[in-house]
Amino acid sequence: MSREERSIEVREIIAVFLLSVTAILTAWCGFESSKWSGEMSIEFSQASSARVQSLDYANVARAAESTDLAIYTQWVDAKARGDQAFADYVSARFTPAFAVAFASWQIAGENTKSPFNEPSYVPDGRVESAKFSKLADHKFETALQSNQRGDNYAILTVLFALVLFFTAMSGRNKLLWAGWFLLSLAAFVAVFGAVILATYPVLV
């Protein structure tokens, strides 16, 4: 066997190994891209669900505020008429959340326009609305991250496709040095892609 034939044989063995490894890496990238796309869809759905719940609780809070406002209006009217008995009757029917703010408002000397401006006024639904709104924002951000990770894996499949192309062309080139050059280039791109792949998060 001549030196050139031995070189071609070695090149073919390396090419087969490189093709096999690259095929596995390409399949893995496709799998991960699909998994991250599925994760993105789930997280977007969770974000939408949390947003709907946030709006539902916000409506509950607005309804509670309307109720408190209606009762407080009666109290203001009674105070304006000097009817303390009726004012006490009305104040006894404040909702628990408004009663806390009303007490704070009176302790502070009624300096603000109304108890609704007190920090202690937290109607039913407001805390829950803020919690689900924050959750929706978090899920939306994580969904965008999952989408980007899926795209990163998809881009790597293109990179590994170049490896397959260069490797295949190296075996069809009649010039020995050109074949080795293309195979070396394919190996470099494969190693480069594998290093990048090792830094990506894995979802199984």
pLDDT 10s digits, 85-109: 999 999 999 999 999 999 999 888 8
Note the pLDDT of residue 11.
Answer: 83
> Please, how many CA atoms are within 13 Å of residue 47, restricted to the half-sphere of its CB?
14
Residue 68 pLDDT:
94
CA distances from 55 to 126, 129, 137, 140, 157 (A): 10, 7, 13, 16, 41
- Interior angle at CA 55, CA 140 and CA 65, nearest 5: 145
Q: Can you give the pLDDT at residue 7? A: 78
What are the CA-CA distances from residue 116 to residues 10, 80, 87, 96, 189 (Å)?
83, 19, 18, 13, 65
> Looking at residues 120-135, what average pLDDT do you find?
95
pTM of the model: 0.77
Q: Mean pLDDT throughout 146-167?
A: 94
From CA 99, how far away is CA 94, in angstroms rounded?
Answer: 5
- State pLDDT tens for residues 27-80: 999 999 999 999 999 999 999 999 999 999 999 999 999 999 999 999 999 999
- What does the pLDDT read at residue 102? 93
DSSP class of residue 117?
G
Q: What is the pLDDT of residue 174?
A: 67
Cβ–Cβ contacts within 10 Å for residue 2, how many?
7
For the chain, the residue count is 204
Decide if pLDDT at 129 tops 70. yes
pLDDT at 5 over 80: no
Report the greatest alpha carbon distance in the chain.
117
Extents of the domains making up the chain: 3-199
- Cα distance between residue 99 and residue 68, in whole Å: 9
The answer to whether the CB of 180 falls within 8 A of the CB of 11 is: yes
Q: Could you identify the residue written with the tokens 């407080």?
A: 72
